Structure 1
Amino acid sequence: MTDRDNAAASRDDIRVYVARKILTMNPAQPMATHVAVCDGRILAVGDRESMRRWTDAAPIDTLRDKVLMPGLVEGHCHLMEGAMWDAVYVGYYDRRGPDGHMWEGLKSPAAVLDRLRQAEHRMTGDPKPLLAWGYDPIFFEGTPLVARDLDALSATRPIAILHASVHLMNVNTPMLALAGIDGDTDVEGVVMGADGEPTGELQEFAAMFPVYRVIGEGLSIAASESVRAIWNFGRVAQLAGVTTATDLVNDLTPSGNANLHEVTRDPAYPIRIVPAFAPQRCPEGGPQRVLSAREGNTDKLHYGPVKFIVDGSIQGFTARLRWPGYHNGKPNGLWLIPPSQLVETFMPFHAAGLQLHIHTNGDEATDVVLDAIEAMLALHPRVDHRHTLQHCQMADVAQLTRAQRLGMCVNFFANHVYYWGDAHYQQTMGPDRANRMDAAEITRQIGLPFALHSDAPITQLNPLFTAWCAAKRETSSGRVLGESLRLPVADALHAITLGAAFSLGMDHLVGSIEVGKYADFAVLEADPFEVPVDDLHEMPVWGTVLGGEVFRAPA
């Protein structure tokens, strides 16, 4: 008899949760009313009669008027969601912070400058740079905040504004000087004006790196270096019903790893974290860096995935599109890894048995990655590798069918339809291509495993909202993009639970309410299968259960 069997045999530590309804996402037993928990895992699931063995002798934690479903799994987001809230939010859409406060979205460049001006005024006597995030000029007819605009706020204080996509940044003249960027800087992505001097727009990481070097943790994707950011991230996720979330770009530094272990070890920390190593940012150590970190995995900290970024952002015009390119004639985007180097770059991690998560926004980027995966599998075959295309927004039926044949998964950025669908329809790709973006319904039809994600902090971390985006396919103006591609609600909910867990190789641990898995639940006020689909994105989350412990959302 194992130790776990002994724990189950002793009823002292067993708790039984009783709910109005339990949606298990387990096709063999879709619904229940009772779930027994022991040692942080699910001991039994069923109705009152089948659970009498446990309910007769165990204390009952009652959530009788609530609906339980598996704890939601956010398969592509970033810890920097927790770090951003130390900077000024200047995004177009309303956004809730880790304290629950809702920040109003800003609908004009003037409103953005006004919020920045107020923030700069509050910093009187503080010499630190003014940092902000969430700006997106595509909502303002492409109007950038060039250096001279930001110089009007302060001619002495360095200012940096990270775009909503995090693929671009605008800075003022003092920040350019502090970062050592000038007319002689020869780095792709540093945009130069007609006068040969930098405009203050920086595209992609190589161009932004000099700024990150001088501002330290501020706006940094390396958020695991900050204990405060990790806590903030956990609060944002828990408010949305999430119990497992990724940090899909992580340097795996000794200090960052130590912080993650310290924070997740705290019983009050409400989620499990899956960090993904980013070799493009931190190439030292290679696969061994991940394998060594994985040896320290705990119930709440799961190392193992590896993240590569091949192209940029569609709305930032840095993604790589196939012919005919951008609808408004903008030049094609940037390769963050040259296509000729993909097999060489991926192979060490693939050969080490690690799972790759590969950012491909544009369909040209998807093409070259599929070529690389096929070549790599021919050289080094692997069964059940689950390499995953992340975002994969413009993939067509042929590309998705090829991904299915290669044994891959896809994780779609479904929120993009709502946030940037109108911009893609009118500016970046045109109606026909915008109508096919994020075609999760095609993957369902062909049997390609898929998930849905928010890419937080790019958009709000709220999987129920993400499921609504895939089911409704409505833009923020109410335009429907590709009505025939609307995903059934049941499949959208599967994609934010068991589908996301499968894409992370964690479906044996999370994603459904089944015996042996972690006792992780989202506690809802209503049944998402019964509410009108229009209400799905605003469903209230009462709280979560992580390993059998209740975490109540603030009233």
Structure 2
Amino acid sequence: MRDRRIIKRLVILSIVVTLCMGFSGTLPKKLDPLAPDSIYLNGTIITMDDNNTNAEAVAVKDGKIIAVGSNKDIRKLAGKSTKTIDLKNKVMLPGLIDAHSHFPSPGLVGTVYANLNSPPVGTIVKIQDIINVLVVHSEYTEEGEWILGRGYDQTLIEERRHPTKEDLDQVSADNPIFITHTSGHLAAANSAALKLAGITKDTPDPAGGKIWRDSKTGEPTGVLEEGAMQLVSKHVPPVSFEENITAVKEAVKEYVSNGVTTSIIAAGGKESIINLQKFSEQGLLPIRITTMGTGGGLGDLGQSPGEMGGFITGFGNDMLKLGAVKMWQDGSIQGYTGYLSKPYHLPPDDDPEYRGHPLQSREKLAEKVSELHKAGYQIAIHGNGDAAIDDILYAFRKAQEEFPRKDARHRIEHAQMAREDQLDDMKELGITPSFYVSHTFFWGDQHWEIFMGPERAARMSPLKSAVKRDIKFSVHLDSPVTPMSPLQAVWSGVNRITRSGEVVGPEQRVTPLEALRAVTIDAAWQNFEEDIKGSIEPGKYADFVVLDNNPLTIDPVKIKDIKILETIVNDKTVYKK
């Protein structure tokens, strides 16, 4: 009886195996564990590996790369269920990394905030245009509600000045109005907003900020600088979750259509980080997100890296995680709030000694940095002017002397006016800058003529000096300050062409390959992710971008015009032209 049962089971097992194998004798996917899910063939694949290897084909399984090589070799790996994608001789790169922006804020411009940018981003060329756009925006605003705008730039409009409360009162005398400068470091408010905030001629300037005043009457003009902005902004109702969802959807469209597969959010508080988790849970984030925390010390962040005070449970996976702690030491040079070691070329108010100002003392910054460094955090500090960079370097050096740490990879954000000696210090201390090199296009003319003068303007965003020192760096767009387009940042790094068509600082131009590394593998390294992304190599995420032309061989002036044909995350298409 027992032998009969055994024979019966063997017969049944034999039938099952035969059915699974089918007539071809090839195991189906679930019984063929070594076959790739996808193979990409017939491409010009720029791997961005250590040897800058090119390949023809890639094999992917479970969202990760398992092989890179020739068409012939990769074809051999295919199983019965493997999907084959013909790249048709198009160019494939690793997914592009947005090293510093403010996702999903770009999606709020034109929806919650009126778009006040000047060409080529927007339409504003004079103060009256700002008024007209806000009037149209106010038609969708209830009586007494806030009218908000973003992106104006006094250097790009005919009047070459900030809008005042009198200008904004023409839009509405009853609705409070608050519009933010393109840099995010200044703003203008109307009379209703100033009244709501209790700002009068007797209101003292807050720490790290300035209330602009009429030189004759002492009355506030409506323009608020740095910390003074918070006197008004704290009264603005927070963006609703529904508005944020709309912004996320719009921002995702912008990012994926520009080849972005990872975005580094440059600062996030408790509420924004919790919102990101909700967006992720709702399936709204098809790209990878790393968000910096906003820090001033361990009291803000909690006691251990990655926990952010413990207010997020289970936060952190391959699609959404915490990164460095973000801090600030100065503002914006085009807003005259960047902190310089020497006076501005054409200073405001005819003050020949004006150099901008730090947002805190050097010692206070160093105290915060040491506390965070000792606790094991990576730290990213905003520094545009060279005096601010001096303070940041001082703080990082002091922290390392007190609490030595190998390979901390602390960052300097923007590093716009970094000097040669400061780059030497960065190399010595292992500091990595993220250059806002697109400044050379968007504000290169103004830096040359107004803010820095020819000599210093030629050295803004000194990429080549960093390359010569073998300093790894990234480049970024700081969206929504400028539109998301990593290829535009690459183009700026290679060409350094201004809006007017001039070349600012040709000796600081880098090669297309060097610039591409700054939006792929070197940007990944900057965030301790070089083992999982940034190049097309086995073991890394299958995050790719497909282009219609090769940025390494095309005329360098045309790099920014290369079309993104497809963006792929985890072997799944998230955008296709």
TM-score, normalised to structure 2, is 0.88
Query: 1:152–1:8: structure 2 CA closer, same or farther, 3 Å change rule?
Result: farther
Task: Give 2:331's match in structure 1, choosing from 312, 318, 337.
Answer: 312
Task: Give 2:169's match in structure 1, choosing from 151, 154, 178.
Answer: 151
2:523 is the counterpart of 1:504:
no
User: What is the Cα deviation at residue 211 of structure 1?
Assistant: 2.1
Aligned equivalent of 2:156:
139
Query: 1:190–1:283: structure 2 CA closer, same or farther, 3 Å change rule?
Result: farther
1:25 touches 1:513 (CA, 8 Å); kept in 2?
Answer: yes
Tell me which moved more, 111-120 or 146-155: 111-120
After superposition, where does 1:28-47 map in structure 2 within 5 Å?
Answer: 28=51, 30-47=53-70
Task: Give 1:270's match in structure 2, choosing from 286, 307, 311.
Answer: 286
User: What is the Cα deviation at residue 196 of structure 1?
Assistant: 2.1
User: What is the Cα deviation at residue 65 of structure 1?
Assistant: 4.3
In 2, distance between residues paired with 1:405 and 1:203? 35
2:103 is the counterpart of 1:82:
no
- Which letter maps to 1:116? L
Gaps of 5+ in 1: 1-5, 96-103
- Which letter maps to 1:310? Q
Task: Give 2:129's match in structure 1, choosing from 105, 111, 115.
Answer: 111
In 2, distance between residues paired with 1:294 and 1:50? 44
2:244 is the counterpart of 1:226:
yes
In 1, distance between residues paired with 2:403 and 2:313? 22
2:249 touches 2:284 (CA, 8 Å); kept in 1?
Answer: no
2:125 is the counterpart of 1:64:
no
1:424 touches 1:430 (CA, 8 Å); kept in 2?
Answer: yes
- Which letter maps to 1:174? A
After superposition, where does 1:62-461 map in structure 2 within 5 Å?
Answer: 62-79=86-103, 80-85=105-110, 86-95=112-121, 104-120=122-138, 122-123=139-140, 125-140=142-157, 142-186=160-204, 187=206, 188-193=209-214, 194-204=216-226, 206-218=227-239, 226-251=244-269, 253=270, 255-267=271-283, 269-280=285-296, 284-288=300-304, 290-291=306-307, 292=310, 296-328=315-347, 329-330=350-351, 331-461=354-484
User: What is the Cα deviation at residue 237 of structure 1?
Assistant: 1.1
User: What is the Cα deviation at residue 541 of structure 1?
Assistant: 0.8
Aligned equivalent of 2:20:
none
User: What is the Cα deviation at residue 362 of structure 1?
Assistant: 0.1
- Deviation per residue, 1:77-111 (Å, 9 max, x gap): 1122233342110111333xxxxxxxx43222222
Query: 1:469–1:232: structure 2 CA closer, same or farther, 3 Å change rule?
Result: same
1:37 touches 1:548 (CA, 8 Å); kept in 2?
Answer: yes
- Deviation per residue, 1:386-422 (Å, 9 max, x gap): 0011111111111101110111111100010101111
Query: 1:403–1:207: structure 2 CA closer, same or farther, 3 Å change rule?
Result: same
Aligned equivalent of 1:101:
none
1:279 touches 1:286 (CA, 8 Å); kept in 2?
Answer: no
- Deviation per residue, 1:289-331 (Å, 9 max, x gap): 7434596211101213111110010000001001244433552
Tell me which moved more, 140-149 or 506-515: 140-149
The 3-state SS of whatever aligns with 1:132 is strand
Percentage of pairs with the same residue:
31
User: What is the Cα deviation at residue 12 of structure 1?
Assistant: 6.3
Gaps of 5+ in 2: 1-28
- Which letter maps to 1:349? L
Aligned equivalent of 1:3:
none
User: What is the Cα deviation at residue 139 of structure 1?
Assistant: 2.0
2:532 touches 2:540 (CA, 8 Å); kept in 1?
Answer: yes
RMSD: 2.4
How many residues matched?
A: 534
1:8 touches 1:43 (CA, 8 Å); kept in 2?
Answer: no
2:258 touches 2:564 (CA, 8 Å); kept in 1?
Answer: yes
In 2, distance between residues paired with 1:268 and 1:214? 29
Task: Look at both structures and tell me which one has the larger radius of gyration over its CA atoms.
Answer: 2
Tell me which moved more, 190-199 or 379-388: 190-199
User: What is the Cα deviation at residue 125 of structure 1?
Assistant: 4.7
The 3-state SS of whatever aligns with 1:284 is helix
1:230 touches 1:260 (CA, 8 Å); kept in 2?
Answer: no
2:370 touches 2:398 (CA, 8 Å); kept in 1?
Answer: no
- Deviation per residue, 1:418-461 (Å, 9 max, x gap): 01111111111101000111000100011111111111111111
The 3-state SS of whatever aligns with 1:75 is strand
1:294 touches 1:304 (CA, 8 Å); kept in 2?
Answer: no
- Which letter maps to 2:265? D
1:19 touches 1:64 (CA, 8 Å); kept in 2?
Answer: yes
User: What is the Cα deviation at residue 158 of structure 1?
Assistant: 1.1
In 2, distance between residues paired with 1:81 and 1:282? 30
- Deviation per residue, 1:221-246 (Å, 9 max, x gap): xx999333333332221111000011
2:143 touches 2:175 (CA, 8 Å); kept in 1?
Answer: no
In 2, distance between residues paired with 1:235 and 1:342? 38
2:306 touches 2:323 (CA, 8 Å); kept in 1?
Answer: yes
1:75 touches 1:453 (CA, 8 Å); kept in 2?
Answer: yes
In 2, distance between residues paired with 1:33 and 1:268? 33
After superposition, where does 1:452-471 map in structure 2 within 5 Å?
Answer: 452-471=475-494
- Which letter maps to 2:518? A
